[in-house]
Chains A and B, each alone.
Chain A
Amino acid sequence: MSAVDERSFRNRSAEAFLHNPALGPLAALILAMVVFSATTSTFLTVDNLSLVVQQSLVVATLALGQTLIVLTGGIDLANAAVMVLGTMVLARLVTEGSSSAVALVAGFVVCAMLGAISGGLVTMLNLPPFIVTLGMLTVVLAVGRLYSEGNSYPVTDNLLGVLGEGGYLFGQIKVTHGMTLAVVMFAITWYALTRTAWGRHVYALGNDPEAARLTGIHVGRTRFSVYLVAGVIYAFAAWQALGRIPNADPNAFQTGNLDSITAVVIGGTSLFGGRGSVMGTVVGALIVAVLRSGLTQAGIDSLYQDVATGVLVIAAVAFDQVVRRRSR
């Protein structure tokens, strides 16, 4: 291959990755699964694969909202705190005798409102998302603890716990309602981002807000809508969390915000905004769960599992940078 050919080949490859930022993470996911299947006898079983998906659901849902915000060039440090407050509202209202439908509506309203507050502060006062959501994180955590009155609330309600239940596909594969819901949510978000004008505006906003404004996009309105939608998604995450562990605990998910950012970044979405995909985020969340499961099956202690995840985050960001430089 001549030097020129090779260069253009590389450029074309780089461009393929620019168009599909989820390709690299997908390759990594497949590789990890192949390796764990080969090295352990327990990883590649129907039971275990279903478990891995169940384990990734809450973080994946948090990461879905996070993806939207990161695509606009923002970041949400408060998402897990919002979700935890959501679980507290759901569980406590039901414990105190509300119907589960009322509790669900209340949970969604609370999370959406918190999203709207973050969005309002970011768009109207033009404050950096990092600062706004850092403040929100502290406030919402405290509110969650106040509201809990030092207790955790076990959930016995059918509707609130329903996402943890499910049936068996082909009599073998356990599919929970939570998985189905997550698939639907990711599909809808993918559609909104790639097939509607709103989605294009979200990307444009993350690419260059000034350029977006000059092309006539309602920058503020779009940005606000993203935080609002993310809030609603966090309410779904709260519901998912109760399906997985039927207990609302104000101290849970303390690292949920960072976990969701990890999934987003490993999934190939750029923290600088404007590039990435929800498919990448699905893959990113799965990679984290696969690593945790596979490394445990291989008998590796959890401290090393954290090392693995951390290394992957850095590798993913390095990859993003290299691809972008190559395409220039």
Chain B
Amino acid sequence: MRRTVPVVLLTVAVLATAACTQTKSGSAEGGQSSGPVKIGLVTKTDTNPYFVKLRESAKAHAEKSGAELIAVAGKFDGDNEGQVAAIENLVQQGVKGILITPSNSTGILGALKQAKEKGVLVIALDTETDPKDAVDATYATNNTTAGELEGKYIKATLGSTPPRLLMMDGTPGGTVDEQRHRGFLQGMGLKDGDPAIIGAAPTNGDQNKAQAAMENLLQRDATVNAVYTLNEPAARGAVAALTAKGLAGKVAVGSIDGGCQGVADVKAGKYLATVMQFPKKMAEQGVDAVVTFAKDGKKPTGFQDTGAQLITDKPLPGLESKDTTWGSQNCWG
């Protein structure tokens, strides 16, 4: 028994000791009896580089502002249960504000409502909730605008050639997916159902799925000259399929995200352009908002656009853009 029971007990003890240290260091930094302002960050997952950037930026900025950031994440995209538990635990913990990239907009409304009732400032980052007033404010890319920029650029590239368009969509029913899709078609001057759209497929923003989807679509119709992709992994998958068909360089491919790998892809000429979003800005503005709220009780409201920037090395007249050198300095991931 002397040796066996402690196997489990020791584990818990070690973990708990880690907890102690963390708490102590936190309060030491604050230097006051109330401790530093605590901010909770709830992302969709821990693994996606976009959320990693969001977390790192928030953490760094919180430290600079003398606040303490606790980052919690769902286990996978769509982990409502995990996000709800995270919100509840953060509220128990006594955070001043919660920054959240909501997994499923309607899934977590109850928990957010309870958090607001307890006087916690709730800010959505990156993704809006539905309804929007479930949170105090939203700091996000205007995804419609981002889609529109991608669409305008592809349209300008094609010039007078009539488009033959394939669309690499995200997850059916996803808010971001739907907004980018709609914005892109606006930019192209097309409507859903237009015969110029010769095919579309859901990719979940996954490179493998996008590649397979593009391969299958090309089997059916290889007259494509323009490709919409929801994000850069989907773009990489699509380009791989196009290359295998010998269509690389003959098709205008655009994307959205502004990840460092995406910028590098554009630089390497794999696709023409991407539209960058700014998770760092979202994180920093979110942290600032909570710190301000803690100081003087002022709450931000509404939708705050954190901007979208077209990145390409082939600038076209009438479209404001930055080159990939600027892109690689400002990219995330």
Question: Measuring CB to CB, which residues of chain A are less than 8 angstroms from any residue of chain B?
Answer: 9-10, 13-14, 17, 24-25, 27-28, 31-32, 35-36, 39-40, 42-43, 45, 47-48, 51, 55, 58, 150-152, 154, 241, 244-247, 249, 251-255, 289, 291-306, 308, 311-312, 315-316, 318-319, 322-323, 326
Task: Flag whether B80 is at the interface (Cβ < 8 A).
Answer: yes
A28-B9, A308-B15 given as contacts; is B92 within 8 A of A293 (CB)? Answer: yes
Closest CB in chain A relative to B139 CB, distance in Å: 21
Q: How far is the CA of A247 from the CA of B111 in the complex (A)?
A: 12
Task: Identify which of A32, A298, A299, A318 contacts B7 (C-beta below 8 A).
Answer: A318
Chain A residues near B15: list those with CB within 8 A: 32, 291, 295, 308, 311
Question: Measuring CB to CB, which residues of chain B are less than 8 angstroms from any residue of chain A?
Answer: 1-5, 7-9, 11-13, 15-16, 18-20, 22-23, 26, 38, 46, 68, 70-73, 75-81, 84-86, 88-90, 92-94, 104, 106-108, 110, 171-173
Chain B residues near A252: list those with CB within 8 A: 78-81, 104, 107
Chain B residues near A48: list those with CB within 8 A: 92
Contact B88 A302 (CB under 8 A): no
Contact B73 A302 (CB under 8 A): yes
Contact B19 A35 (CB under 8 A): yes
Closest CB in chain B relative to A262 CB, distance in Å: 12
User: Which of B16, B80, B107, B110 neighbours the largest number of chain A CB atoms within 10 Å of its CB?
Assistant: B16
Q: How far is the CA of A284 from the CA of B68 in the complex (A)?
A: 31
A14-B4, A249-B107, A251-B77 given as contacts; is B19 within 8 A of A31 (CB)? Answer: no
Task: Identify which of A43, A55, A301, A319 contacts B88 (C-beta below 8 A).
Answer: A55
Contact B108 A254 (CB under 8 A): no
Contact A245 B80 (CB under 8 A): yes
Task: Identify which of B7, B9, B80 contacts A247 (C-beta below 8 A).
Answer: B80
Closest CB in chain B relative to A291 CB, distance in Å: 7
Given A42-B93, A302-B71, list of 16 further CB < 8 A pairs? A28-B8, A32-B15, A39-B23, A40-B19, A58-B81, A245-B108, A246-B110, A247-B104, A249-B80, A252-B107, A292-B85, A293-B92, A302-B72, A302-B73, A306-B46, A326-B4
Contact B23 A255 (CB under 8 A): no
Chain B residues near A241: list those with CB within 8 A: 81
Q: How far is the CA of A32 from the CA of B10 in the complex (A)?
A: 10
Closest CB in chain A relative to B179 CB, distance in Å: 16
Residue of B nearest to A6 (CB): B2
Q: How far is the CA of A249 from the CA of B76 in the complex (A)?
A: 13
Residue of B nearest to A59 (CB): B81
Residue of B nearest to A55 (CB): B85
Chosen A-B contacts, 18 in total, with CB atoms closer than 8 Å, are A13-B4, A28-B11, A40-B19, A55-B85, A151-B173, A244-B84, A245-B108, A246-B110, A247-B107, A251-B104, A252-B78, A252-B107, A255-B76, A296-B93, A299-B68, A306-B75, A311-B15, A312-B11
What does DSSP make chain A's interface, helix, strand, loop or mixed?
A: helix
Chain B residues near A31: list those with CB within 8 A: 9, 12-13, 16
Contact B71 A249 (CB under 8 A): no
Leading 7 A-B pairs by shortest Cβ distance: A251-B78, A150-B172, A13-B1, A35-B16, A298-B19, A296-B89, A302-B72
Closest CB in chain B relative to A166 CB, distance in Å: 14
Chain A residues near B9: list those with CB within 8 A: 27-28, 31
Q: How far is the CA of A73 from the CA of B85 in the complex (A)?
A: 32
Closest CB in chain A relative to B112 CB, distance in Å: 12
Chain B residues near A43: list those with CB within 8 A: 92
Contact A245 B81 (CB under 8 A): yes
A39-B16, A251-B78, A292-B85 given as contacts; is B8 within 8 A of A299 (CB)? Answer: no
Contact A301 B1 (CB under 8 A): no
Contact B23 A296 (CB under 8 A): no
Closest CB in chain A relative to B63 CB, distance in Å: 13
Q: How far is the CA of A152 from the CA of B73 in the complex (A)?
A: 21
Chain A residues near B172: list those with CB within 8 A: 150
Residue of B nearest to A266 (CB): B8
Chain B residues near A150: list those with CB within 8 A: 171-173
Closest CB in chain A relative to B313 CB, distance in Å: 37
Task: Identify which of B5, B72, B75, B81 contacts A296 (C-beta below 8 A).
Answer: B72
Chain A residues near B94: list those with CB within 8 A: 42
Contact B86 A152 (CB under 8 A): no
Q: How far is the CA of A252 from the CA of B108 in the complex (A)?
A: 12
Closest CB in chain B relative to A66 CB, distance in Å: 17
Contact B110 A245 (CB under 8 A): yes
Q: How far is the CA of A81 from the CA of B22 in the complex (A)?
A: 37
A251-B78, A302-B72 given as contacts; is B8 within 8 A of A32 (CB)? Answer: no
Closest CB in chain B relative to A266 CB, distance in Å: 9
Residue of B nearest to A293 (CB): B89
Q: How far is the CA of A255 from the CA of B70 in the complex (A)?
A: 23
Contact B19 A51 (CB under 8 A): no
